[in-house]
Amino acid sequence: MSAVVTPFPLAQARGAQVGFEREELQRILDLYGRMVSAGEWRDYAMDFGKDAAVFCAYRRVAEYPQARIEKRPDLRGRQGMWALYGEGGQVLKRGHELAGVLFPIERRLVKLVAD
């Protein structure tokens, strides 16, 4: 008797979903933890779509995100796949490296600790 194996549908067939790699997510969550300790952020949300992976950090639950970090691999060759957006939706920083894009938030964190 022969067994018939039905292959699992590939992610490419359904439309691949953009996500964060382990190191990227670790860096973002590390920053989130430090901002929570400083009393700046209290909640976060993540969204994974076909075009982008998004991490949003909130000061309060019922607000617009204070910071939004987006990863858009389609922009890798142009202005960079990473973008940091502010509370009003303005682009604060774009780049090819996550560390450079997170720098404005980390700089603000250093100022908070220095006070």
Termini Cα distance of the chain: 75
Evaluate if residue 34 carries a pLDDT over 60.
yes
**63-80: per-residue pLDDT in tens?**
789 999 999 998 888 888
How many whole angstroms separate alpha carbon 74 and alpha carbon 81?
7
Q: What is the mean pLDDT of the chain?
A: 86
The per-residue pLDDT for 115 is 55
Residue 11 inside a domain? The answer is: no
Q: Which of 60, 114, 112, 108 is nearest to 84 (CA)?
A: 108
Is the pTM value of this prediction over 0.75?
yes
How many domains does the chain fold into? 1
Evaluate if residue 81 carries a pLDDT over 60.
yes
Residue 9 inside a domain? The answer is: no
**SS3 category, 107:** helix
pLDDT over 90, % of the chain: 56
Hunting for tokens 């490419």 — which residue is that? 12
- Mean pLDDT for 13-28 is 85
How many whole angstroms separate alpha carbon 69 and alpha carbon 57?
9
For residue 60, the enclosing domain spans: 16-114
Residue 3 inside a domain? The answer is: no
